[in-house]
Amino acid sequence: SAVISQKPSRDICQRGTSLTIQCQVDSQVTMMFWYRQQPGQSLTLIATANQGSEATYESGFVIDKFPISRPNLTFSTLTVSNMSPEDSSIYLCSARGRMTDTQYFGPGTRLTVL
């Protein structure tokens, strides 16, 4: 299984600002994903991070609000832009390797927007 790290682990931000979350995988992976977990809720996929091209967003999520980059096979970033208190959530990165059908998750980033 892949070992996934995320930075920062938590942050408290002011409304109207932006935060970039980094996700690093210890080995080359085929697919990387970003999920959101709102307080007391389940996980919802934001987008699939594609290497070298634009991310594929799920319904209800847009690139202007959640720009994603994936410059190589082991690294991705998610930016939460123009934040409001409704963006307070845990943001999780996951990855799937070439030889598995299983997604493994990072430790998550707990974001609080005041």
Provide the binding-site residues for other proteins, judged by CB under 8 A.
1, 31, 33, 35, 37, 41-45, 48, 50, 56, 58, 90, 92, 94, 96, 101-108, 110
Minimum CB separation of residue 2 from other proteins in Å reads: 11
Task: Tell me which H or E stretch contains 72.
Answer: strand 68-72
Q: Smallest Cα–Cα separation from 24: which of 77, 81, 98?
A: 77
| CB nearer other proteins, residue 15 or residue 62 | 62
CA distance 104 to 48: 14
Residues 6+ apart with CB under 8 A from 59: none
Q: Output the smallest distance, CB 14 to other proteins, in A.
A: 23
CA–CA gap between residue 45 and residue 93 (Å, rounded): 10
In the complex, what is the shortest distance from the CB of residue 52 to other proteins, in angstroms, rounded to a whole number? 13
Nearer to other proteins, 73 or 90 (CB): 90
